[in-house]
Chain A
């Protein structure tokens, strides 16, 4: 069974700073279908990145994804106030446990 481990659990940063979120797979399945989602309180998740590094429709270019199995990274180049949220990685039917980005 695939396990995705996200780190850190919480990231405390200020607007304008760079955020680097990690997602590690317990074993390599497919290196091409890693996705990242953003979720704000009371809202459904929103797809940010698919296929490791492709931005979903309407996602600003301050969000970027990179990596290859088993290590993947989501980078937010300069945090905007609306970026403070929880971020999940996903591969196939498995989600990571989430990273909270807080002010």
Chain B
């Protein structure tokens, strides 16, 4: 079955960077875009961007432009999301999610989430 397994929780200082991994299994990794969505404590869902694992091209929400980088390793069927210049309000659970083949933005499989805490 489709699984997206994310890396563990992180605690970072303000100004640092964090890199979250998302290991895909149970399907052909290069056939489906991977999206990243975050959720601050007690808040709703916020879309961050997408990546095409086959070509490596990406699209980022304007809010994160210049601070976020999405990459992948096709040999390891793993997607990565790196967020730099961390601020206190970047504290959130970060999810990777597989986009349906329709490419209309619907996300049919999600990772378990990675809590990133920004604290001094």
Contact = CB atoms under 8 A, between A and B. Distances in A.
Tell me the interface secondary structure of chain A in the complex: loop
A22 interface: no
Contacts of A67: none
A33 B108 CA distance: 13
A51 B101 CA distance: 12
Tell me the interface secondary structure of chain B in the complex: loop
Interface residues of B, number: 20
Contacts of B112: 44
Interface residues of A, number: 24
B47 A45 contact: no
Nearest to B112: A44
Contacts of A96: 44
Interface of B: 37, 44-47, 61, 95, 97, 100, 102, 104-113
Interface of A: 30, 32-33, 35, 37, 39, 44-47, 50-51, 56-57, 88, 90-98
